[in-house]
Structure formats: structure tokens, C-alpha cells
């Protein structure tokens, strides 16, 4: 009975761990996931990560017990035809080489390991372009007053804009951005867009004074999505500074090509 429970626990926890591994592979970057209030199957990024950790630990425990219960057959795998124990058998050598190739190939950046990692990064970049990037770290947890103060926005105009957009009339400058968003089932980025639209003026002047965390990874398209900018205007500003960019160019790529920092690229877009 114990052997059966161990094997079935290892199987089921392996399947769940595989599922959570796939989810965490495609989930947006942490700052983007929290900013977008990202959910999948009713679970947040944090909850998927927690399940991955706990069920993954259960899988490891069950695996250790499975190995212990099947130690004799495993030892047989490392015996030659004379039934002598030989650690470096042909299967062991092949297994060692496979693990080493994946390990070293990942560090060196060889395909298909690099391809797998690049594809995951591409998925996360697309998520940023879809959901936007927070104007500063954990902006979604800020009260409206702090949020507007940090970004140089008028909090009274922000409250008015949200009321006009149909948000709860009870919200005020002490309401958290994430709570405001959840009250209508929208993302904090949508709340930010409503607030910014009411402020009027040049959208470039409403960009944070300093580039937020993760700006270097952003594409021009993602930056435009986050701050409500016209891509043509952004590309024109970069062009006038001698920077030939496209919609899919990241600030990190451009900084490397033109010997600048991502912050320099950001300030050029902002107009400073």
C-alpha cells in the first residue's frame, strides 16, 4: 500500500508541477503581472508560484521515497553483465552527458536551450505590450494620492475622471489603485489611462521623471502602450537623436547599439 501511495503521489505531484512550470514560463514579469492584476484559472502569479513551490516539494519527497523503495532495481541498472557494481555504466555516462550538455548549453547560450529561453522572454515582452508597465515599482498598491503625487498628476482631477468613468462614487484619494481597478474588473493600467486622459496636455510630460524598473526590457510599442504615446512621434524623436529604431526595438538593444544607457533612451523619448 505504501509503495502504491508513494508512486501515485509522485505521479500526481509531477503532473501538477509540470503544469505550474508551464504557467510560470508564460506568465508576465512580476511587476507586469501585479500591475495588470493578472489571473489564470482564477489564480494570481503569486498563487501559481506558491503552488509550484509546495507541490514541487511534495514531488521531491515522493521521488526520494520512490527511489528508496526501488533502490535494488536502481542498483541493478549500474551493474555489468558479471553483476558487478559499476557506477559509470553506459546508461549512466549517457545520462551524465545529457545533463551536462543542457547545463553548459544554458550558460553558454547554445540552442535549443537558448531558443527555449528566448521564446519565454518573447512571451513576456508581448505581455508587457498588452498590459503595460507600471510607472514605478508596486504602483498598484499605492493610494491614489501617492500615485498621483509621484507622477505629478492632479489627484482631484483623477478622482473626478474616475467618477465620470463610472467608478464607485465612494472612492477617494486614499483608495488603493488595485482596489479601484478590481471594483470594476479592469487592470490598474486602465485606471492609469483614465486618470492620465483627464489631465490633458502633452502625454510625454506626464511620463515619470525617471525610467521605472524594467524599462530597458521594454520595446517601443510597450512604452507607447504604458504612457499613451503615439509610436510615430516616439520613433521620430529617436530618429532626430540619431537613433534608428523600430516598434519592436527594446531600450536595452538601442542603448547597446548607440553606446547609451536605457535611461538615456528614455529621457530622449520624454524630451529631456
User: Is pLDDT above 90 for 87?
Assistant: no
- 229 lies in which domain range? 215-270
Of the three residues 200, 224, 244, the one that is the final residue of a domain is 200
Of the three residues 52, 69, 86, the one that is the final residue of a domain is 69
- Is 150 part of a structural domain of the chain? yes
Q: What is the pTM of this model?
A: 0.76
Output the pLDDT for position 82: 66
205 CB-side CA count, 13 A: 7
- Is 205 part of a structural domain of the chain? no
Of the three residues 93, 112, 131, the one that is the final residue of a domain is 131
Region 10-27 average pLDDT: 96
Same domain, 107 and 169: no
Same domain, 62 and 11: yes
Output the pLDDT for position 245: 93
Same domain, 188 and 222: no
User: For the segment 117-136, what is each residue's pLDDT rounded down to a tens digit?
Assistant: 999 988 988 888 888 888 88
User: For the segment 88-99, what is each residue's pLDDT rounded down to a tens digit?
Assistant: 777 788 989 999
Amino acid at each position: 500500500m505504501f509503495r502504491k501511495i508513494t508512486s501515485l503521489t509522485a505521479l500526481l505531484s509531477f503532473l501538477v508541477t509540470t503544469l505550474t512550470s508551464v504557467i510560470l514560463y508564460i506568465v508576465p514579469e512580476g511587476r507586469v503581472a501585479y500591475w495588470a492584476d493578472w489571473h489564470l484559472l482564477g489564480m494570481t502569479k503569486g498563487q501559481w508560484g506558491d503552488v509550484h513551490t509546495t507541490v514541487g516539494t511534495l514531488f521531491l519527497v515522493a521521488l526520494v521515497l520512490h527511489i528508496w523503495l526501488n533502490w535494488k532495481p536502481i542498483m541493478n541498472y549500474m551493474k555489468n553483465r558479471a553483476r558487478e557494481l559499476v557506477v559509470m555504466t553506459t546508461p549512466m555516462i549517457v545520462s551524465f552527458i545529457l545533463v551536462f550538455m543542457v547545463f553548459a548549453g544554458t550558460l553558454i547560450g547554445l540552442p535549443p536551450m537558448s531558443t527555449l529561453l528566448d521564446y519565454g522572454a518573447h512571451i513576456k515582452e508581448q505581455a508587457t505590450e498588452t498590459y503595460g508597465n507600471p510607472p514605478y515599482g508596486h504602483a498598484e498598491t499605492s493610494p491614489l494620492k501617492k500615485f498621483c503625487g509621484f507622477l505629478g498628476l492632479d489627484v482631484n482631477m483623477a478622482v473626478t475622471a474616475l467618477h465620470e468613468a463610472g467608478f464607485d462614487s465612494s472612492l477617494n484619494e486614499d483608495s488603493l489603485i488595485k482596489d479601484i481597478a478590481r471594483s470594476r474588473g479592469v487592470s490598474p493600467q486602465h485606471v492609469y489611462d483614465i486618470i492620465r486622459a483627464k489631465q490633458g496636455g502633452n502625454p510625454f510630460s506626464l511620463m515619470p521623471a525617471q525610467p521605472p524598473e524594467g524599462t530597458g526590457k521594454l520595446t517601443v510599442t510597450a512604452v507607447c502602450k504604458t504612457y499613451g504615446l503615439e509610436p510615430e512621434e516616439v520613433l521620430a524623436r529617436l530618429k532626430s537623436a540619431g537613433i534608428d529604431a523600430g516598434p519592436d526595438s527594446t531600450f536595452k538593444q538601442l542603448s547597446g547599439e548607440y553606446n547609451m544607457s536605457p535611461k538615456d533612451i528614455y529621457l530622449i523619448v520624454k524630451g529631456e
